[in-house]
């Protein structure tokens, strides 16, 4: 029993514990449920509050949107009304303009209709006038035909009467009259030709003088007269013996090495170098100056100095050619052409330095080409190269013109450049205006006073030949060469040469001078016909 009570007590204790546990779990669950219910109730209230607030906000937004929509609608309606008014105003203005244009067009059409009516009236009046003139002309034509028949009949009678009186047939009289008319016409033509030629010459001379004068003024070149000899000063006369050397070996070595003759005479303290090759003469001059300055003069030293001076002079020649090219303002020349241009610095022609002459011709031709609107670079290039043949005419056979043309062809110069070189002395016809300018520039540079000199014998011979050519024509009484041979005055016999023949005589004399005489520049042929009537009052 006690065991059973104890068991029961133990069972009751476990039950109570279980019940207590269950009670605690149920209580906790109830508490959690109650808490959840409370929280849910609170959350529901919050949600309802939020929902109310959101509903209020939505209602406010809807009211605001409705208000804005109404405002936008009112603004859109107002803007639409304003655009309609604007479009209506523009349409009305356009319609007004179109109506005005239509009215102007109708007015123009009205005026044109009036003008057409006037023209029709005028045309009908002119037609009536022309018809009257036509009838009048037909009457006059009939009268003229009748008069022509009468005149023809009278002409035949008069012709027959004149043939009897003059003892000439009609053909003979016609031929005589034709000859007289031809002679008179020839005289009148000669006078007209002379006047026109004189006018053209005056205008051409004036234009040419202006261009040439401007070119000369803009191109200032100096001229130095040079010869085929060079003079080397000596410090004293004892130096002559050292230059000659023992048994003349030093002077022979210098002459053999340079190809230049040394003239040592009684002239105090100078040695003269004579030779036609200007480059060799310059080498000899520089060599002799270096030997005199150094003091060591013997064959070995002479050969060494000549070789050194030759190399230095080659550099100077190249530099001179480049300076000429830069001074003129052209580029692209072949290096060998540049060297040949530099060699011209030591070449003279009639006492004129060919190097300076070539630069001057290039500058003058370029200035004249610029004034005439021609190719300036082409004119300068041809002017600089026109005497390039003179750089080698001491070494090769041929004229400097032909040698220059061959050199230009060899170094691939333009065919027109070659033509300008060949034509600058009139050997061939120039093919370009620039080639003519080269002729003119060459004549200006060569004919300038002091630029060149001429031997007295050659000068007198040229003047005599000029007078001889002019005196060889029929009707020439006397001829005089004046102005250093730049003008020839021809006095003709007035009974053998009339004014018309004097014009043709001047042309014939000029042509013969061009074909038979060589001269720089140009020669003016002035034919003078003077007729004097003398009577004495007694």
3-state secondary structure 51-102: HHHHHHHHHHHHHHHHHHHHHHHHHHHHHHHHHHHHHHHHHHHHHHHHHHHH
Is the separation of the CB atoms in 470 and 451 below 8 Å?
Answer: no
Residue 384 pLDDT greater than 80, yes or no: yes
- pLDDT average, residue stretch 19-41: 74
Given this model, what pLDDT does residue 163 score? Answer: 65
- pLDDT average, residue stretch 415-433: 87
How many whole angstroms separate alpha carbon 407 and alpha carbon 333? 12
Given this model, what pLDDT does residue 267 score? Answer: 74
How many whole angstroms separate alpha carbon 120 and alpha carbon 286? 103
Residue 122 pLDDT greater than 80, yes or no: yes
- Cβ atoms < 10 Å from Cβ of 441: 30
Given this model, what pLDDT does residue 164 score? Answer: 67
**Which of 349, 339, 521 shows the shortest CA–CA distance to 443?**
521
The greatest distance separating any two alpha carbons of the chain, rounded to the nearest whole angstrom, comes to 223
Tokens 């003088």 belong to: 209
Residue 525 pLDDT greater than 50, yes or no: yes
Structure-token pair, residue 66: 């409705």
Structure-token pair, residue 103: 């009215």
Question: 295: left (phi > 0), else alpha (psi -120 to 50), else beta?
Answer: left
- Domain 461-529 adopts which CATH fold? GMP Synthetase; Chain A, domain 3 (3.30.300)
Which of the four pLDDT bands, split at 50, 70 and 90, describes residue 21? low
Is the separation of the CB atoms in 270 and 236 below 8 Å?
Answer: no
Q: pLDDT higher for 318 or 152? A: 318
End-to-end CA distance of the chain: 223
Residue 415 pLDDT greater than 60, yes or no: yes
Is the separation of the CB atoms in 318 and 339 below 8 Å?
Answer: yes
Q: Point out the least confidently predicted range of 35-49, 273-287, 481-495.
A: 35-49
pLDDT digits (tens, 9 = 90+) for 173-218: 677 778 778 877 877 777 777 777 777 777 766 666 666 656 655 5
pLDDT digits (tens, 9 = 90+) for 322-374: 898 888 888 888 888 888 888 888 887 766 788 888 898 898 888 888 888 88
Q: Point out the least confidently predicted range of 155-159, 237-241, 436-440.
A: 155-159
- pLDDT average, residue stretch 6-29: 61
Residue 175: enclosing H or E segment and its boundaries? helix 170-218
Which of the four pLDDT bands, split at 50, 70 and 90, describes residue 226? very low
Residue 321 pLDDT greater than 70, yes or no: yes
Average pLDDT value over all residues in the chain: 80
């Amino acid at each position: 029993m006690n065991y059973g009570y104890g068991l029961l007590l133990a069972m009751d204790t476990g039950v109570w514990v279980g019940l207590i546990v269950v009670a605690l779990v149920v209580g906790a669950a109830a508490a959690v449920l109650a808490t959840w219910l409370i929280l849910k109730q609170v959350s529901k209230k919050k949600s309802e509050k939020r929902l109310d607030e959101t509903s209020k906000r939505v209602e406010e937004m809807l009211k605001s949107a409705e208000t804005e929509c109404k405002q936008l609608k009112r603004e859109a309606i107002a803007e639409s009304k304003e655009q309609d008014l604007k479009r209506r105003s523009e349409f009305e203005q356009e319609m007004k303009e179109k109506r005005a244009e239509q009215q102007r067009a109708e007015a123009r059409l009205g005026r044109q209709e009036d003008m057409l009516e006037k023209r029709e009236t005028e045309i009908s009046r002119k037609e009536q006038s022309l018809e009257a003139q036509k009838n009048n002309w037909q009457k006059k034509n009939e009268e003229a035909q009748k008069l022509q028949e009468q005149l023809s009949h009278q002409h035949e009678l008069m012709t027959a009467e004149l043939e009897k009186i003059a003892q000439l047939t009609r053909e003979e009289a016609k031929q005589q009259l034709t000859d007289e008319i031809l002679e008179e016409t020839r005289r009148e033509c000669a006078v007209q030709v002379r006047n026109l030629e004189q006018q053209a010459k005056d205008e051409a001379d004036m234009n040419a003088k202006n261009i040439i004068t401007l070119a000369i003024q803009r191109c200032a070149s100096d001229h130095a007269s040079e010869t085929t000899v060079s003079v080397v000063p000596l410090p004293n006369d004892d130096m002559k013996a050292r230059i000659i050397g023992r048994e003349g070996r030093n002077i022979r070595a210098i002459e053999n090495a340079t190809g230049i003759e040394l003239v040592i005479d009684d002239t105090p303290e100078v040695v003269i170098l004579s030779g036609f090759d200007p480059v060799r003469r310059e080498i000899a001059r520089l060599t002799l100056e270096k030997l005199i300055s150094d003091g060591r003069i013997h064959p070995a030293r002479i050969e060494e100095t000549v070789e050194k001076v030759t190399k230095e002079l080659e550099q100077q020649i190249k530099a001179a050619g480049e300076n000429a090219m830069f001074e003129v303002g052209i580029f692209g020349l072949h290096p060998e052409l540049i060297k040949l241009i530099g060699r011209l610095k030591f070449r003279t022609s009639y006492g004129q330095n060919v190097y300076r002459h070539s630069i001057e011709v290039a500058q003058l031709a370029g200035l004249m080409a610029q004034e005439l609107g021609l190719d300036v670079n082409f004119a300068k290039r041809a002017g600089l190269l026109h005497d390039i043949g003179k750089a080698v005419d001491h070494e090769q056979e041929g004229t400097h013109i032909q040698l220059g043309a061959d050199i230009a062809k060899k170094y691939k110069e333009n065919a027109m450049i070659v033509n300008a070189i060949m034509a600058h002395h009139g050997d061939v016809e120039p093919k370009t205006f620039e080639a003519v300018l080269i002729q003119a520039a060459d004549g200006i540079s060569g004919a300038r006073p002091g630029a060149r000199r001429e031997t007295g014998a050659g000068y007198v011979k040229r003047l005599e030949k000029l007078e001889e050519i002019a005196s060889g024509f029929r009707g020439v009484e006397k001829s005089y060469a004046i102005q250093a041979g730049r003008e020839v005055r021809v006095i003709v016999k007035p009974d053998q040469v009339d004014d018309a023949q004097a014009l043709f005589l001047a042309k014939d004399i000029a042509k013969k001078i061009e074909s038979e005489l060589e001269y720089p520049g140009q020669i003016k042929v002035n034919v003078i016909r003077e007729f004097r009537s003398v009577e004495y009052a007694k």
